[in-house]
Amino acid sequence: MTRRWVFYAGAPRANILIRLMVGGVFLSEGIQKFLFPAALGAGRFAKIGIPLPDVTAPFVGGVEVVCGALLIVGLATRLAAIPLIINMLVAIATTKIPILMARGFWAMAHESRTDYCMLLGSLFLLVSGAGSLSFDRALAPVLRKSL
């Protein structure tokens, strides 16, 4: 039953809007980590104290590209949402909590608005799934037979 839940896509068609929003932002941000490594990739990771930035930044960028693309097409949506949730929790802990401590709640609230939306959007997709306009839905008959 658990394996079937992972690919269940009975949520409304409107879920495609959340998938396109969340997936599109992650896909774009992941690509930019490779295009602009000094500002958005390893250089930024080093600046904020992430260990092994030359390894972690490309890894995170790759996760964002792959999982963002999976969300956009609605393939393994729930599984793709999990690393993105972890990604956002780490981003909030490493970049927004220091702002909270140094400059207060409202500065942190302003700076974290995108992170907050991406975290909640990813959580939404984890809970609700891809929706009926997705590869998860198209593959459901095949998956039911094999699971």
Residue 141: what pLDDT? 73
Q: What does the pLDDT read at residue 4? A: 67
The pTM of this model reads 0.91
Can you tell me the distance from the alpha carbon of 135 to that of 2, in angstroms, rounded to the nearest whole number?
A: 19
Sign (positive/negative) of CA torsion 106, 107, 112, 113?
positive
DSSP H stretches of helix in 36-134: 37-40, 42-47, 53-73, 77-91, 97-103, 105-111, 113-128
Cα–Cα distance for residue pair 88/94, rounded to 1 Å: 10
**Along the 147 residues of the chain, how does pLDDT read in single tens digits?**
456 667 777 888 899 999 999 999 999 999 999 999 999 999 999 999 999 999 999 999 999 999 999 999 999 999 999 999 999 999 999 999 999 999 999 999 999 999 999 999 999 999 999 998 999 888 877 766 665
Say what the pLDDT of residue 6 is.
72
